[in-house]
Amino acid sequence: MSGRAQPLRWGVNYTPSQSWFHSWLDFDLDAVRADLDSIAELGLDHVRIFPLWPILQPSRTLLRPQAITDVGKVVDAAAERNLDVAVDGLQGHLSSFDFLPSWLTSWHRRNMFTDPEVVDAQARLITALATEVSARSNVIGLTLGNETNQFAVERHPEQQHVSPARMGEWIGTLLDAARSAWPAGMHQHSFDDDVWFADSAPVTPRHAATLGDCSTVHSWVFTSVARNFGPGHPARTFFADYLVQLAQAWAEDPARPVWLQEIGAPAPFIAADDAPEFMESSLRPLLDTPNLWGVTWWCSHDVSRSLADFPELEYSLGLLDSNRAAKPLGTRFGELAAQQRASPALTRIRSTAVAFDPGDQASGAGRPITSPSGPVFAAWLERAAAGEPPALVRTSKLDDAAYLSARGIDTVVPAEPYPHAGKDS
């Protein structure tokens, strides 16, 4: 074991307590400052913010200067509270709601991933945001948008069709725009776990683990984990660690950073009284991962019950309630962050790895083998629950001695079914 090269970052995805993200429409800096005060009181060091795309760019050829300036004001307000800021660009998709500008929908429907004029407009927005915030000392970088892959998946009611190859080009184009305007920023893209598990997802694991300056992970147990494993099953609290290890396995660079960019405790899958323990039990197993950049909880403030039509689970995900009061979950998260700063977890090399066949790495075909219902997760979980969480490694890397050495892997075990896994376990 050894010390971490850089301190682990502890933060939260900022959801405004007043009017949620609709608050960008009637921007109130005093309300933002009050929200950031309540976040800073928890002892966190960064926030991730989400300006809405239709407000920033209501026409393909119009970027609203005031809306861009408002983003900078949030960054400045955060700096006054010693909070760093990560900025998302194309919002995009948030908490089941889509925010696409009108020039992409209905009579003006165009493909957001393949239409050259659309991509050019998106690049201008990314450039404008990067230009606005890059000179400020408390900014981290840009995420292209929140789970933009959701617009391209089969389940989306208005699916935007795109091939894996074209999706890679789209991500690369926008990352290049961010880097050109802001060379020093840490820029990345984000996605839900379809990327790791669903063959139909045009964002592939290779995209996830090679494009951008770090790999992002969004860990949500209300998807396939809760359907396959009942309350109290270790699969629920080890899922975030599994995703982090999967992101590492798909990276070509053994030292590539991984950012746990979203993790939450969604009701009713996690009862409110159990949320603090779920949070800590989910995070402690992965804190010794050498290249873990940081943990950013979803989310800061509960959604007010005065706002209609959210999925029920979205109303109670905050570390703080909609009146800015810390919940037991928030207090515990802040305490864990303080403990880790005072006594950082030693990093640990996972010398044993479960091997998996990556399938067609260009298209991503073959991904379901690593899903929570598949044999790779079962084999990995058996060892993790026994107290020795392993790494993961692609079989295509088993002959690469330098790669295995860089990751510290000296024992490889096959993925074999775990006989106790299942819905009633």
State whether 316 and 378 are in the same domain: no
- The reported pLDDT for the residue numbered 383 is 97
Residues 308 and 387 placed together within one structural domain of the fold: no
pLDDT at 1: 54
> Is residue 309 domain-shared with residue 378, that is, in the same domain?
no
Residue that is last in its domain, among 342, 364, 379: 342
pLDDT at position 2: 56
For residues 140 and 84, give the distance between their C-alpha atoms in angstroms, rounded to a whole number.
7
366 and 284 inside one domain: no
> Does residue 274 lie within any of the structural domains?
yes
Domain span holding position 204: 9-342
Do both 239 and 384 map to the same domain? no
338 and 381 both lie in a single domain? no
pLDDT of the chain along its 425 residues, tens only?
Answer: 555 668 899 999 999 999 999 999 999 999 999 999 999 999 999 999 999 999 999 999 999 999 999 999 999 999 999 999 999 999 989 999 999 999 999 999 999 999 999 999 999 999 999 999 999 999 999 999 999 999 999 999 999 999 999 999 999 999 999 999 999 999 999 999 999 999 999 999 999 999 999 999 999 999 889 989 999 999 999 999 999 999 999 999 999 999 999 999 999 999 999 999 999 999 999 999 999 999 999 999 999 999 999 999 999 999 999 999 999 999 999 999 999 999 887 788 999 999 999 999 999 999 999 999 999 999 999 999 999 999 999 999 999 999 999 999 999 999 864 343 333 33
Environment class of 191 (CB within 10 Å of its CB; exposed 0-12, middle 13-18, buried 19+): buried
Do 79 and 104 belong together in one domain?
Answer: yes
Q: Which pTM was predicted?
A: 0.95
Q: Is residue 386 part of a domain?
A: yes
CB neighbourhood size of 338 (10 A):
14
Secondary structure tally for the chain: helices H, strands E: 13, 12
DSSP 342-400: HSPPPB----EEEEE----TTT-TTGGGGSTTSHHHHHHHHHHHTT---EEEEGGGTT-
**Nearest of 326, 212, 228, 304 to residue 261 by alpha carbon:** 212
Instruction: Tell me if 55 is assigned to some domain.
Output: yes
Helix (H, G, I), strand (E, B), or coil: what is residue 248? helix
Q: 265 lies in a domain?
A: yes
| Domain presence at residue 68 | yes
- Residue 403 in domain: yes
Backbone angles phi, psi at 42, to 5 degrees: -75, -15
Same domain, 108 and 247: yes
Q: Tell me whether residue 181 is in a domain.
A: yes
> 310 and 404 share a domain?
no
Residue 418, domain member (yes or no) = no
**Domain count of the chain?**
2
Task: Check whether residue 110 and residue 65 sit in a common domain.
Answer: yes
Structure tokens at 177: 């725009």
Sign for the CA dihedral angle at 299, 301, 306, 312 comes to: positive
> What DSSP assignment string belongs to 171-223?
HHHHHHHHHHH-TTS--B----THHHH-TT-SS-HHHHHHSSSSEEEEE-TTT
Residue 416: CB atoms within 10 Å: 12
Check if the beta carbon of residue 250 is closer than 8 Å to that of residue 205: yes
pLDDT at position 418 is 39
pLDDT of residue 302: 98
Neighbours of 289 (CB within 10 A): 24
Task: Count the residues in the chain.
Answer: 425
- Within this chain, do residues 129 and 246 fall inside the same structural domain, yes or no? yes
Last residue of a domain, one of 342, 360, 394: 342
Task: At 43, list the tokens.
Answer: 């002892």
Q: Are residues 219 and 306 in the same domain?
A: yes
Give backbone dihedrals phi and psi of 109, rounded to 5 degrees, phi first: -55, 125
Give the end of a domain, one of 293, 319, 342.
Answer: 342
CATH of the domain at 136: 3.20.20.80
